[in-house]
Structure 1
Amino acid sequence: PWLAPIVRVTYVTNTGVAFGLFQNLGNFFIIVPIVVIGLILFFHHQLPDGQRLMRLVLGLALGGATGNLIDRLRFGSVVDFIDCNFWPLREWPVFNLADTSIVTGVALLVLMLVWEERRERYKQQAAEGG
């Protein structure tokens, strides 16, 4: 009850992707997650030892994609239930934990790729004496 002014549980079915985007595209959102899950598993298997953060990031995306896929296969849609009602999220669509996991995983992946690219650029500049 004390979170009710900020976060509510609201039952919503969603045939689209995260946050209610791209509704009613049929089997597209069954096929794409299966391909994405396969790619995540492939890349995870290719990672060298010591890549714990990358494994975590891929695990977040994998867990979210799998959770939403299971909902789609069982119910024909994803069940969203987290309804935020605070600035700046007053008009934010209802979402679920799988969406949060996917978005967090993808955001961390982008940050890691940018970080690695900058690190390589600095390393190359140092090697060139610049």
Structure 2
Amino acid sequence: MKRMYLVAGAVFVLDQLSKLYVLSVLNVDRHDVDVFPPFLTFRMAWNYGINFGLFSGHAGWTRWLLIGIALAISAWVAWWMRREPRPLARVSGGLLIGGALGNVVDRLLYGAVADFLNMSCCGIDNPYSFNIADIAIFVGAAGLILFTGERKKTP
């Protein structure tokens, strides 16, 4: 369990520090910053909904609903991982929890999730941005799928 909480804490701190830097030092809220164009650009997007801005039209009540869902899922994953012996499963749980809590803090502080990483390639201009918490949630969820569950016994 210690490993899960360390990973969650590291993801949370990295996510919050990156957002603080991008908003306060680089002022990405006012202009885009080309990091490695066109592959990586810091482009600010305030996400009031869930993935790709879904349900963002109801910012007032969805903010609190999404905070509640993220906290409930985080608590459930922490409870689930108490009995999980596999280290990679616990690391995955930590990634998911740290990312979810990072986005919860954004919703509490700003009313929306601060997304700033934008990646495009090969003539395709990607209109969507994401953040470190989103990456951690995705990788953590994939890891929970891959590294949990009963192993099939081979004859």
Q: How would you bin the TM-score normalised by the shorter chain?
A: 0.7 to 0.9
Aligned partners of 1:17, 1:60: CA distance in 2, in Å?
A: 18
Q: Which residue of 2 aligns with 1:4?
A: 37
What is the match of residue 12 of structure 2? Answer: none
> Equivalents in 2 of 1:32, 1:18: separation in Å?
14
Structure 2: segments with no counterpart, 5+ residues: 1-33
Please identify, of 11-20 and 65-74, the stretch whose mean Cα deviation from structure 2 is larger: 11-20
Q: CA deviation at 1:87?
A: 4.4
The aligned runs of 1:88-107 (5 Å cut-off) are 90-91=125-126, 93-107=128-142
User: Which residue pairs with 2:71 in the alignment?
Assistant: 34
Contact 2:63 2:112 in 1 (8 A): no
| 1-structure distance, mates of 2:136, 2:78 | 16
Larger Rg: 1
Deviations 1:3-44 (A, max 9, x none): 122110011111112332332323211110110111122112
> What is the rounded CA distance, in whole Å, between the counterparts of 2:78 and 2:106 in structure 1?
20
Deviations along 1:49-94, whole A, 9 cap, x unmatched?
xx21011100110011010001011111100000111149743521
Match of residue 112 from structure 2: 77
Q: Structure 1 unaligned runs (5+)? A: none
Compare 34-43 and 77-86 and name the one that shifted more.
34-43
Identical residues among aligned pairs (%): 31
Determine if the alignment matches structure 1 residue 20 to structure 2 residue 57: no
Q: Is 1:18–1:99's contact at 8 Å kept on the other side of the alignment?
A: no
> How large is the RMSD of aligned CA atoms in angstroms?
2.2
CA 1:87 to 1:40, structure 2 compared with 1: closer, same or farther past 3 Å?
A: farther
For the Cα contact (< 8 Å) 1:64–1:97, is it kept in 2? Answer: yes
Structure-2 separation of matches of 1:61 and 1:18: 15
Q: TM-score, normalised by structure 2?
A: 0.67
Shift of 1:109: 1.7
